[in-house]
Amino acid sequence: MDPRPIGVFDSGLGGLTCVKRLMDVMPGEDIIYLGDTGRVPYGGKSRETILKYARQDIAFLRSFDIKAVVAACGTVSTNGLEEIAGDYPIPVFGVADAAAQAAARATRNGKIGLIGTTASIRSRAYDEKILRARPGAEIFKKACPLFVPLVEEGRIGRDDEVLRLVAEGYLRELRDTGIDTLILGCTHYPLIAGTVGEVMGPGVTLIDTGAETAERLRRELAKTGALAARARGGYTYYVTDSAEDFGRSAALFLGTHMEGDVHRVTLEERV
């Protein structure tokens, strides 16, 4: 057993949907979360900039004695995270691996869809992971840059006409390909799974990257006897912009009242 905390980061607060899943499957773990709210979003930025920021985020989390890092950010997970993961003496997990494997298992007809930020869709990370798990699979991708700002404006209800219209626009061509599995490749998207699911129809299985990743991390920690032994973990949150109003925004993504402290930090830029 290993009582050290798990470090989790995201460009902003979307990664909290993954934290929620981690809390669900491993209630005894301490979690330290970093949201880079001073530079959010990453999804429209270049691979080079995304990786630079990811390095700085991981360096901050490693200033605590953590046992693993989760990049709870679809954009980071698909833009070179694996290249830098080997630079650290602790495991670094992205959200794409477990999600790709879950999609490969879930599909019946071998047609898998992926939605995400512009940077996630530009990368070929998911293609490679899915094809490894299921050779011959067909992958159909669509960047959905408006989904994040829509979620952040709280337009997540199934009755939101703008969300519905945007989703119809983005998803029409994916639906027409006949995919039976769709990866929600951004940690914001579980909040609009209702509308996405309705637009795609009941024959399409949605894959929640945060949920798959939390389960995978639990298995990995259990395998090496590295789960914490306590009944209930503690949570600490760090952000790079104002910590004011964090609780209200966090509740949206956590789906529950936030417990734990939140602090503002400045990241070391020369990492």
Residues that are catalytic: 73, 186
Collect all residues with Cβ–Cβ distance below 8 Å to 60 and sequence separation of at least 6: 9, 34, 238, 265, 267, 268
Nearer to its own copies, 109 or 242 (CB): 242
Of 32, 100, 104, 150, the one binding its own copies (CB under 8 A) is 150
149 binds its own copies (CB under 8 A): yes
Distance CA 158, CA 140 (A): 24
Stretch that binds its own copies, among 16-24, 129-137, 179-187, 239-247 (CB under 8 A): 239-247
User: x/- string (CB under 8 A) for its own copies, residues 251-270?
Assistant: ------------------x-
45 binds its own copies (CB under 8 A): yes
Question: What is the DSSP pairing of strand 68-71 with strand 6-10?
Answer: parallel
Nearer to its own copies, 53 or 126 (CB): 53
Nearer to its own copies, 11 or 181 (CB): 11
Size of the site for its own copies (CB under 8 A): 26
Cβ of residue 43: shortest distance to its own copies, in angstroms? 11
Structure token digits, residue 146? 């408006």
Q: How far is CA 158 from CA 42, 190, 252, in A?
A: 26, 13, 16
In eight-state DSSP terms, residue 5 is P
Centre a 10 Å sphere on the Cβ of residue 242 and count the other Cβ atoms it contains: 10
End-to-end Cα, the chain, rounded Å:
31
Cβ of residue 152: shortest distance to its own copies, in angstroms? 7
146 binds its own copies (CB under 8 A): yes
Nearer to its own copies, 87 or 245 (CB): 245
Cβ of residue 148: shortest distance to its own copies, in angstroms? 8
Cβ of residue 15: shortest distance to its own copies, in angstroms? 17
**Degrees to nearest 5, angle at CA 35 with 29 and 39:** 165
Structure token digits, residue 10? 């995201």
Nearer to its own copies, 49 or 224 (CB): 49
Distance CA 183, CA 121 (A): 12
b/e burial code for range 143-156 (CB count within 10 A of at least 16 → b): bbbebbebbbeebb
Distance CA 1, CA 22 (A): 17
Of 153, 173, 259, 261, the one binding its own copies (CB under 8 A) is 153
Q: Is 245 helix (H, G, I), strand (E, B) or coil?
A: coil
Length of the chain: 271
- Residues 179 to 238: which contact its own copies by CB under 8 A? none
User: x/- string (CB under 8 A) for its own copies, residues 4-43?
Assistant: ---------------------------------xxxx---
Residues near its own copies, by CB under 8 A = 37-40, 44-46, 48-49, 145-146, 148-150, 152-153, 161-162, 165-166, 169, 240-242, 244, 269
